[in-house]
Amino acid sequence: MKKLTHLPRWTLLLTSLAAVTPAAAQTAAPAASAAPAQFIAPKIDWTRELKVMSGVTIADNGDLIYLGSDSRIRRTDAQGKEKWTYAAGDIGRANPVVTPQGSVLAASYDDHVYLLDPNGKLQWKLKLDGDIYASPALRLDGSFIVGTAGGSVYALSADGKVLWQYKVGAPVFSSPAVAADGTIYFGAQNNRMHALTPDGTLKWAYAAGSLVFSSPAIGREGGIYFGSSDRKIHALNPDGTLKWTVPTGLFVNASPIVTSTDLVVVGSYDGKVYAVNTTGENEWVYTAGAPIAGAAAELSDGTILIPDLSGTVHAIGKAGQRLWTIQTGKKIDTAIAVSDAGTVYFTTEGGALNALQKQRPLAVGPWTTFHALPSSWGRALSANDLQARTAARRAAATAAIAALKPAPGSTPAPTPTPVRPPTATTPPAGTPPAGTAPGGTGPVATTPATPVRPPVTTPTAPATPTRTPEEAARLAGGGARAVGRTVYLPLAETAQALDMAVKVLSPRQATVTVLGSPVLVSTVTLDGRAYLPLSGLARLPGVTVKTDPAAGTVNVTRLARTRSFPVNFGKAVSLEVMRTTY
């Protein structure tokens, strides 16, 4: 393994400490699978010795892209079968980026970034001012943001030209994150979190109490969340002012995620996982029992998956309870990766890639996996863009997986989803020792094959509903109602027709769960039943509402499924009220 001496000496020392920690920490760890009996850990479907060194990035069609310990950029199918490799100049640990067009941007310890087309052919490479440990980010215009150990952050055009260079003056191991307004956030070894304008001008720099290895996550409201070696989780407002900090027992060098319910979830070297709400209060604290360096991922049912340095993968329920654990005995220091087909991937020390039997797909939320998306864009998306992107990814993944032959010896049996316990328990505290391992990047040799990647397209909803008015009336349980100029649909029947869970909180409020994310909505009670206004329904992620005065129906579309509800009010009222566009 080359050029490990490029890491600062104190970093190598901390990494060495982390490597001896798990055995000691395990003595204090709770017994594996200390969950109710109905929670059975899924089996590892397959393990491949693939020399994986970086984090694993997942393309829209389910292909896996990573950098190997042999200095090669590699692309495999969803079952680990190699499609092509490309020889870079050194190893690397940063997650590659997969663009919407299927190109791959990878970075290496040889100071270079490489752009390869979907077939593994080099488009361009560019030498920067130092090794690249941090994962690059992809901006909306197709340009890339790259941080280096040489102490700079670069903006690179899609054709490989330097647009600008910001000199930090300290190594950058924290992967940049791009906000919806184009602001670029990253941490550095000067103990600061930085914010740059889209043209590379410094907006502000916030001083943490120690080094910032952690890569920032961006919340739904634009907040910036990260950890530091000062043993704290930090939350900042977009203007750089402090929202809150939460203390932990040791370094927080892992990168946080922000869940579909807006919890900031991150592990610490104290062996605990913290779930913090937007006001800075711990919703729960889970004891893993060994230091944590890798980022978590949230599944669509709210389950949190997170690895630790003892080689254990933990599944944590919504209330912080242990659901199950899988122990590999080999260190895991990179993020969990989850495909849109529901396959969970993780890499153990030595480069073996492991795939769990099918779980649920990734949750749809502001930042539910490392670097925001499986394709590692490192960019915040609007709610509508996120829904459309997720739908497109899942369509592509479904088509690609359906075409694959079963892996040799694999038994793709889906894991049952049991009813979760109603109450939360906070596991007892433990205090394992410290260590740290920054992220990085690398590649090396060529054997391009030719994978065909489906284009990313947003599925189009059917234009015309197929249900008859009689069928729609039975489904809607009475159909749409009008009160004044407001049109309402029956809440329970609408949620059932669109596959959404609903919980009535009061006569005026309810929550509707869309793809694992509960959304608060206003309701009214008519004739003893809860109704939802069309304007509120139209604001739910991924839901489109159209009215058809001629047919006398309200047509609601979600995930390319359209349901029609008949209107139950006079024609004169309907023609006036239903002109409203939602």
Section 153-172 average pLDDT? 97
Does residue 89 carry a pLDDT above 60? yes
Higher pLDDT, 237 or 568: 237
Q: Assign 460 a pLDDT band (cuts: 50, 70, 90).
A: very low
Could you tell me if 460 and 560 are in contact, meaning their C-beta atoms sit under 8 angstroms apart?
A: yes
Q: What is the pLDDT of residue 569?
A: 57
The model's confidence at residue 568, banded by pLDDT at 50, 70 and 90, is: low
The pLDDT value recorded for residue 316 is 97
459 vs 82 pLDDT, higher one: 82
Positive or negative, the CA dihedral 359, 95, 375, 322 is: positive
Asked whether the predicted pLDDT for residue 105 surpasses 60, the reply is yes
Question: Is 70 exceeded by the pLDDT of residue 515?
Answer: no
The domain limits of the chain are 46-398, 477-566
Question: By mean pLDDT, which of 84-98, 442-456, 512-526 is the weakest?
Answer: 442-456
Q: How far is CA 42 from CA 33, 305, 319, 325, 504, in A?
A: 11, 12, 20, 9, 33
**Is-contact 184 196, C-beta < 8 A?**
yes
Instruction: Tell me which of 172-186, 317-331, 406-420, 565-579 is least confident.
Output: 406-420
Poorest-confidence range of 185-189, 323-327, 387-391? 387-391
Percent above pLDDT 70 for the chain: 75
Q: Any idea what DSSP says for residue 138?
A: E
Q: Are 57 and 352 in contact (CB under 8 A)?
A: no
> Rounded to an integer, what distance in angstroms lies between the CA atom of residue 73 and that of residue 85?
5
pLDDT of residue 495: 80
pLDDT score recorded for residue 516: 63
The answer to whether 459 touches 392, Cβ cutoff 8 Å, is yes
- What confidence score (pLDDT) does residue 435 get? 37
Report the residue count for the chain.
582
Asked whether the predicted pLDDT for residue 582 surpasses 60, the reply is no
pLDDT band at 386 (very low <50, low <70, confident <90, very high): confident
> So what's the pLDDT on residue 494?
82
Mean pLDDT of all residues in the chain? 80
Q: Which of 79, 42, 87 is nearest to 58 (CA)?
A: 79
Worst-scoring range by mean pLDDT, 3-12, 189-198, 542-551, 572-581? Answer: 3-12
Task: Specify the pLDDT at position 538.
Answer: 78
C-alpha to C-alpha distance for 70 and 49, rounded to whole angstroms: 12
User: What pLDDT does 313 receive?
Assistant: 97
Q: pLDDT band at 484, cuts 50/70/90?
A: low
What band does 402 get if pLDDT is binned at 50, 70 and 90? Answer: low
Q: What is the mean pLDDT of residues 424-432?
A: 35
Upper half-sphere CA count for residue 457 (Cβ side, 13 Å):
7
Does residue 535 carry a pLDDT above 90?
Answer: no
- What is the predicted pLDDT for the residue at 573? 44
Q: What's the CA gap between 332 and 532, in Å, rounded?
A: 46
Model confidence band, residue 186 (pLDDT cutoffs 50, 70, 90): very high
Q: List the CATH code of the domain at 46-398.
A: 2.130.10.10
Least confident of 140-149, 296-305, 549-558: 549-558
Q: What is the DSSP string of 322-361?
A: EEEEEE-SS---S--EE-TTS-EEEEETTTEEEEESP---
Is the model's pLDDT at 497 over the cut of 70?
Answer: yes
Q: What is the pLDDT of residue 382?
A: 78
Task: Give the highest mean pLDDT range of 173-177, 355-359, 571-575.
Answer: 173-177
User: How far is the C-alpha of 428 from the C-alpha of 376, rounded, in Å?
Assistant: 34
pLDDT category at 520 given cuts 50, 70, 90 is confident
User: Does the structure show a pLDDT above 90 at 469?
Assistant: no
Residues 224 and 183 sit within 8 Å (Cβ to Cβ) = no
Please give the Cα distance from 311 to 354 (Å, whole number).
Answer: 12
**264-273 pLDDT tens trace:** 999 999 999 9
Please, where are the H alpha helices in 247-350? none
> Among 228-237, 356-365, 492-501, which range has the highest average pLDDT?
228-237
Q: 156-193: string of b/e by CB count within 10 Å (b at 16+)?
A: bebeeeebeebebebbbbbbbbbbeeebbbbbbbbbbb
pLDDT tier, 327 (very low <50, low <70, confident <90, very high otherwise): very high
Average pLDDT over residues 325-345: 94
Q: 121 to each of 55, 109, 339, 400, 549, how far by Cα in Å? A: 21, 20, 25, 22, 54
Provide the token pair at 543: 């839901």
Q: How confident is the model at residue 508 (pLDDT cuts 50, 70, 90)?
A: confident
Strand order in the sheet with 177-178: 177-178, 184-187, 192-196, 202-207
pLDDT digits (tens, 9 = 90+) for 202-256: 999 999 999 999 999 999 999 999 999 999 999 999 999 999 999 999 999 999 9
pLDDT of residue 563: 78
The reported pLDDT for the residue numbered 399 is 72
Which of the four pLDDT bands, split at 50, 70 and 90, describes residue 354?
Answer: very high
Q: pLDDT tens for residues 15-29?
A: 333 333 333 333 233
Overall average pLDDT of the 411-425 stretch: 36
CB 126 within 8 Å of CB 113: yes
287 pLDDT more than 80:
yes
Residue 394 main-chain phi, psi, to 5 deg: -70, -35
CB contact set of 538 (below 8 Å; sequence gap of 6+): 544, 545, 582
Buried b (16+ CB within 10 A) or exposed e, 37-50: eebebbeebbebeb
- Strands, E, within 237-334: which ranges? 242-247, 257-258, 264-267, 272-276, 282-287, 297-298, 304-307, 312-316, 322-327
Contact 365, 260 (CB under 8 A): yes
